Chain A
Amino acid sequence: MKFDLETVLFISLSVLSVVSAIYMITRKNPINSALFLILNFFTVSGLYLLLKAQFIAIIQVLVYMGAIMVLFIFVIMLLNLQFQKKKLESYSYKSLTSILLAIMLFGILGYTVYFGFEGKFKGMSDKALEIGTAEKLGAELFTNYSFPFELASFLLLAAIVGAIVLAKKKFE
């Protein structure tokens, strides 16, 4: 294994993402958890960039870190969550199922990684490298997929109208 910049970045980002994930689930203050989750999203988007998937990396930053995290923090602030000591100590069937599910997920991922590396790892083909770029995605969206792309705008418009109808304080 040669130590070029990519390897160094990969190792540091992945260590940081695992550490931030562990910190996220062990913090007692929900705000701290949320902040560590942001750090985790950030490192994962860095990993996407290393995989040459620029578009997903940008979307990860915009959607997850931008929109969804703001929502999380709003909800935490609005609900005014207290330190939940009691719940952390109690073990119920829920924790058992979550442990089982975690083991299953780990098994599936491990299986994929193991068999993915069984053959010789050749690196990505040129075609695969192109797919993740914003140019390629944009070109597809505005040529071959322009029709569904336009339709999605109708879907969004209907959703906006619906949200306003339901949330408006008072109708004129």
Chain B
Amino acid sequence: MIQLHEIYEVIPLVLIAFAACAILVIEAFSKKGSSAVYGFSIITVTGAIAASFLSLNKELIIFNQFLRISNASVMFSVIILAGILITIIASKNYIEKENINFGEYYSLILFSVLGMMLMVFANDLLIIFIGLELMSVCFYVLAGFLRLRQKSNESALKYFLLGAFITGFILYGIALIYGISGTTNLAELYNQKKLFTNYVFIIGFALFLIGFLFKIGVFPFHMWIPDVYDGAPTTLSGMFSTAGKIAAVGTILPIILALNITNFKLIFSVAAVATMMYGNVIALAQSNMKRLLAYSSIASAGYIFVGVAAMNEFALKGIAYYLIAYTFMQLGAFIIVSILEKKDDGSRDYKNVDIDFYKGLGKRNPLMATFMTIFLFSLAGIPPFAGFWGKYYLFYAAIQANLIWLSVIGILLSLIGVYYYLKITVYMWFHESTDLVTAGYEKEPVSRSGIFATSLAVVGTVVLGLDPNMFFRIFKMIAE
């Protein structure tokens, strides 16, 4: 049975759920264009991050065995919430610019966060499914939030159709797992022996896994990513590529580790190589910044899967570190694209997102160009930024797991990635602005909220890079 006091263990979830509903009411009673909802959601998410630390070191199974609180799940939820906080702070300016300044925007973001947190806290396949659906339904709508833009509509429809199709896979997988094991409870599932001698269970688990590989964007389930991230509102593309992926990784990773699937090692390695290769090679040919970042997020999913294939304790640390570094740098890069984007003028496409627009940015807007350079260097894996250490840990884990070939291929493929990240940097600092751009270009005033959000991401990228153990140390300190 559910006890009332159990609710104190999940304060972050309660806060987010309450705020998501409350925003709809506040929006109705506040004046048009007021920032009450904006402030309210920032305060809630900050509060939820602070409250998350209360649940550290607890190892609880609560709510009739539906939720499980462990240090790993708290860590994943903190990373997700940090990404969401930066997204929300940067959103205000962007949604005003795009004329979509509605409370539902924040409400849907918070609902999706509720889904993500449920996924990482879940101790039951049922909760994972509900959380995943809650996240996905909000994402489908958010991708199409710019209703008058054809690209946004296309993105939402593609995301919805493919996502709904994949939901079928996950549900069918859960049904087969339940049919064989007789339980949807994860703790009970882990205790059952010889599950992997049963072919029906393997099929069920494979279907379940495919669903998550789709959400993470691992080859060959990555085709939706460029189109969706390209068409969705830019701040939200950043959120999809960070928080959404982290939630999926944070859900499937403990399951993979607990079931101790050694048979899948080769499959994960091959998937990692294919994903890194696809992401990095196709990104070379991109001329649109949002698409380029989308392909770079596919490549990042490949790096994460190097760690998943290694499956040792270094890998766990590496994945956690890479995820937080990735949140800062990927989200930061997307936010800068959103800041530089041209104001809505009723056109069907996003303006000023071509990489040609970034030529000479260092002279026009030195602050944003500097920040962008930091994010791109970090994504490329150049020390001393956080992205370097993330890749270092992941490839080190692969070497420790005797997957030397995998780490060699991974390092070579990430070298390809360096080319296109550096290309943008060279464009920004060593090229003159093209005439095409200067002719119709009005300098966009960079809002304070935008600078604040990107600064947060920069601080995260730089500080984590200078002292890579800091994140874990702080976590340990708070835990004790």
Task: Using CB atoms and an 8 Å cutoff, list the residues of chain A in contact with chain B.
Answer: 143-148, 151-152, 154-155, 157-159, 161-166, 171-172
Q: Are B64 and A147 in contact (CB under 8 A)?
A: yes
| Contacts known (A147-B2, A147-B64); A165 close to B141, Cβ less than 8 A | yes
B130 within 8 A of A: yes
Q: Are B134 and A148 in contact (CB under 8 A)?
A: no
Would you call B137 and A158 a contact (CB within 8 A)? yes
Considering the complex, give the chain A residue whose CB is closest to the CB of B32: A172
- The residue of chain A having its C-beta at the shortest distance from the C-beta of B62 within the complex is A147
Q: How far is the CA of A164 from the CA of B115 in the complex (A)?
A: 20
Is residue B392 contacting chain A, with contact meaning CB distance below 8 A? no
Q: State whether A155 touches B102 (Cβ < 8 A).
A: no
* Min CB–CB distance A55 → chain B (angstroms): 18
Query: What secondary structure prevails in chain B residues at the interface with A?
Result: helix
- Residues of chain A lying within 8 A (CB to CB) of residue B133: 155
Cα of A145 to Cα of B185 in the assembled complex, Å: 12
In the complex, which range does the number of interface residues on chain B fall in?
A: 35 or more
Do B104 and A165 touch (CB < 8 A)? yes
Among all A-B residue pairs, the 7 with the closest Cβ atoms: A162-B141, A158-B111, A147-B63, A147-B66, A165-B104, A151-B130, A155-B134
Residues of chain B touching chain A, judged by Cβ–Cβ distance below 8 Å, are 1-2, 17, 20-21, 24, 32, 63-64, 66-67, 100, 102, 104, 107-108, 111-112, 114-115, 118, 124, 126-127, 130-131, 133-134, 137-138, 140-141, 144-145, 147, 156
Q: Are B1 and A159 in contact (CB under 8 A)?
A: no
List 11 other contacts, CB 8 Å, given A145-B126, A148-B127, A151-B130. A147-B127, A148-B66, A151-B134, A154-B111, A155-B137, A157-B111, A161-B108, A161-B111, A163-B141, A165-B104, A171-B102
Query: Once the chains are docked, how many angstroms separate the CA of A75 from the CA of B317?
Result: 53
- Taking CB atoms, residues of chain B closer than 8 Å to A166 are 141, 144, 147, 156
**What are 6 residue pairs bridging A and B, where the CB atoms are less than 8 Å apart in the complex?**
A147-B63, A147-B66, A148-B126, A148-B130, A154-B134, A162-B138
With a cutoff of 8 Å between Cβ atoms, the chain B residues found around residue A157 in the complex are 21, 111
**Which of chain A's residues has its CB closest to B118's CB?**
A151
Contacts of B111 in A (CB 8 A): 154, 157-158, 161
Tell me whether A143 and B1 are in contact in the complex, defined as CB-CB below 8 angstroms, given that A151-B134, A166-B144 are known contacts: yes
Instruction: State how many angstroms separate the Cβ of B164 from the closest Cβ of chain A.
Output: 12
